[in-house]
Amino acid sequence: MSIPSASSPPTATAWIALTGEQKRARVLAVAGELFAREGVEFPMPELAKAVGVGVGSLYRQIGKKDDVVAALVVERLGALEERYRAAAGTDDPMRALSGVIVATVDECVNDRVTKMAWEFGQGRPDCEGARASAREALQHLIDSAQQAGALRDDASGNDLRFLFRAAREAEKIMPGGGQRLGELVLAGLARR
């Protein structure tokens, strides 16, 4: 049985026919789209409506809103970690780092969940574990660029996390501001 697309809510009968895992995947897919665009302040009753279920079903399936957001944050951090690890394994780590910065800044500007992934869920083991893994992968990529002689010795993952956090604000000042900030940070971190 396939999971209904996020754009078309299942009927009540179709929802009942889904497994618990499929229901959870459905809720996270819809929440991922809505929260990325509208922000995590998006009301749970509206999320339930978009999923095509009652609010009670939503809470039974996934828990409270913080649980939904935490699951999305863990998902986003996992994707970032995967991107960073893949980039670190390339022959040109500085070029790969540039590509990572462009892609991650773009996500931070356009996806409100990704933007908050570095902070949300402080003290939650699921978020903290995913964040630690993503930080480690990002630092490994930075280490690779430093070993290749392309990046300053004092460059760190914190420098890029500052950028990712600030990118959305830079975008508010000027369209393309997030990417411009990324270019400036990368130029400042490059070994001269």
**What residue spans define the domains of the chain?**
12-63, 70-189
Residue 140, token pair as written in the block: 């490994």
CATH 1.10.10 fits 12-63, yes or no: yes
How many angstroms separate the CA atoms of 83 and 93, rounded? 12
Q: In this predicted structure, what is the pLDDT of residue 73?
A: 96
Q: What share of the chain is helix, strand, coil (3-state, %, to 5)?
A: 75, 0, 25
CB neighbours of 25 closer than 8 A, spacing ≥ 6? 3
Q: In this predicted structure, what is the pLDDT of residue 16?
A: 84
Residue in the structure block whose two tokens are 């940070």: 185
Residue 118, token pair as written in the block: 């570095």
Residues paired with residue 39 on neighbouring β-strands, in sequence order = none
Q: In this predicted structure, what is the pLDDT of residue 8?
A: 58
Q: In this predicted structure, what is the pLDDT of residue 142?
A: 94
Q: In this predicted structure, what is the pLDDT of residue 7?
A: 54
Q: In this predicted structure, what is the pLDDT of residue 113?
A: 93
Which segments in the chain show pLDDT lower than 50? 1-5
Rounded to two decimals, the pTM is 0.85
Q: In this predicted structure, what is the pLDDT of residue 61?
A: 85
Q: Are 26 and 33 in contact (CB under 8 A)?
A: no
The domain 70-189: what is its CATH number?
1.10.357.10
Q: In this predicted structure, what is the pLDDT of residue 4?
A: 42
How many angstroms separate the CA atoms of 182 and 49, rounded? 38
